[in-house]
């Protein structure tokens, strides 16, 4: 087996500017993901071959090897997912930037399903999350975080999309400045809210599925994960109140915090049952996760309350 090609360190992306554009540049932000090798194997076996796969970040396990399809942009220090994606956008030669997280393993026809939506006229497309071969709390984590974006969810327009499995026209994302690197989390929601404010439709395609291998394996880590997401939510939401408004619960948090805290269990139950009611297949396959999802959603609301103070 030939030795791995040494990673490039921020080589000048302009040297590719004269090459002809192609369909898809897949951008994978990576920070030592143990799943990266499996992700790249899945990308190499897609039913539609991408122009390129750009892996940006750090790879202590040396799972990424450059070849005719995979390009490595190694960063000298850890960078945020937003900055890693923006770096990939700068290198991209394709007409479409397709973002895939380094712990999301796509199905064989994932890219084909993504590109079908673009060929049919959509500018921004979000794929789905598949629940496969996962332990109980891993499934709860995915459902609580990504319930509206599971492969069992109906297709159609969404108020926002998630960058772990999302694609957008390269010209457009460069024009709007990419992701906001100042945000710790929620940079994808921020980006898609900006697009929505421009009148651009955000389309969800459940057939473009990838299995997300979360690292949250117990009740405590799942709750902490959701708490962190909730804590960061007000920083994004407050930018777009004209677009999304202010819910009755948000007003209650600001006016009477103890009363708002008392309503959290009921809100978590509402959220969880909303996911399962709208997705009968999710209920049929994964009904035992309902208590865990309710528990996780209480973490999100607790984080939102803390983040608004």
Structural domains of the chain ordered from first start? 13-218 (3.90.550.10)
| pLDDT higher than 80, residue 95 | yes
Give dist(CA 173, CA 153) in Å, integer. 26
Q: What is the pLDDT of residue 78?
A: 97
- The pLDDT of 147-162, averaged and rounded, is 98
Torsion (CA) 285, 270, 212, 102 in degrees, nearest 10: 170
> Taking 80 as the threshold, does the pLDDT of residue 20 lie above it?
no
pLDDT of residue 159: 98
Burial of 248 (0-12, 13-18, 19+ CB in 10 A): exposed
Residue bearing the bigger pLDDT, 16 or 123: 123
Cα separation of 136 and 283, whole Å? 14
CB atoms within 10 A of CB 81: 24
Task: Give the DSSP H or E segment for 39.
Answer: helix 36-44
User: Where does the pLDDT of residue 5 fall: very low under 50, low under 70, confident under 90, or very high at 90 and above?
Assistant: very low
- Residue 4 reports pLDDT greater than 70: no
Ramachandran sector of residue 278 (left: φ over 0; alpha: ψ -120 to 50; beta: rest):
alpha
Provide the pLDDT for residue 51. Answer: 96
Tell me the mean pLDDT in the region 208-221: 96
pLDDT band at residue 287 using 50, 70 and 90 as cut-offs: very high
| 72 touches 35 (CB < 8 A) | no
pTM (two decimals): 0.91
Q: Quick one: average pLDDT of 59-86?
A: 97
Question: Which phi and psi (to 5°) does residue 6 adopt?
Answer: -65, 135
| pLDDT tier for residue 132 given thresholds of 50, 70 and 90 | confident
The arithmetic mean of pLDDT across residues 127-140, rounded, is 93
Round the average pLDDT of the chain to a whole number and report it.
93
Is pLDDT above 80 for 45?
Answer: yes
Whether pLDDT at 123 is above 50:
yes
Give 105: exposed, middle or buried? Use CB within 10 Å, 0-12, 13-18, 19+.
buried
Residue 134: pLDDT band with limits 50, 70, 90? confident
DSSP state of 217: -
Mean pLDDT of 49-71: 97
Which of the four pLDDT bands, split at 50, 70 and 90, describes residue 2?
very low
Q: Classify 82 as helix, strand or coil.
A: helix
């Amino acid at each position: 087996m030939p030795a791995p090609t040494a990673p490039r360190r921020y080589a000048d992306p302009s040297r590719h500017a004269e090459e002809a554009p192609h369909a898809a540049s897949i951008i994978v932000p990576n920070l030592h993901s143990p799943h990266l090798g499996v992700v790249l194997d899945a990308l190499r076996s897609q039913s539609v071959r991408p122009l390129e796969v750009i892996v940006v970040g750090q790879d202590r396990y040396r799972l990424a090897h450059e070849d005719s399809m995979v390009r490595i942009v190694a960063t000298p220090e850890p960078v945020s997912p937003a900055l890693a994606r923006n770096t990939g956008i700068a290198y991209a030669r394709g007409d479409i930037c397709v973002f895939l997280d380094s712990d999301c393993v796509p199905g064989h026809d994932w890219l084909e399903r993504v590109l079908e939506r673009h060929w049919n006229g959509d500018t921004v497309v979000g794929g789905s999350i598949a629940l496969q071969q996962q332990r109980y709390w891993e499934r709860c984590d995915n459902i609580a975080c990504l319930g509206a974006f599971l492969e069992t969810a109906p297709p159609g327009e969404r108020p926002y999309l998630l960058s772990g499995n999302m694609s957008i026209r390269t010209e457009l994302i460069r024009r709007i400045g990419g992701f906001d690197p100042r945000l710790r989390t929620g940079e994808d929601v921020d980006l898609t809210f900006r697009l929505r404010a421009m009148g651009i439709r955000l389309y969800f395609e459940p057939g473009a599925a990838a299995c997300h291998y979360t690292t949250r394996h117990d009740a405590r880590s799942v709750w902490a994960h959701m708490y962190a997401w909730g804590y960061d939510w007000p920083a994004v939401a407050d930018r777009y109140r004209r677009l999304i408004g202010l819910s009755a619960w948000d007003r209650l948090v600001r006016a009477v915090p103890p009363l708002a805290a008392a309503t959290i269990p009921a809100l978590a139950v509402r959220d969880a049952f909303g996911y399962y009611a709208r997705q009968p297949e999710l209920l049929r396959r994964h009904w035992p996760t309902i208590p865990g999802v309710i528990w996780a959603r209480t973490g999100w609301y607790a984080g939102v309350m803390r983040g608004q103070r």
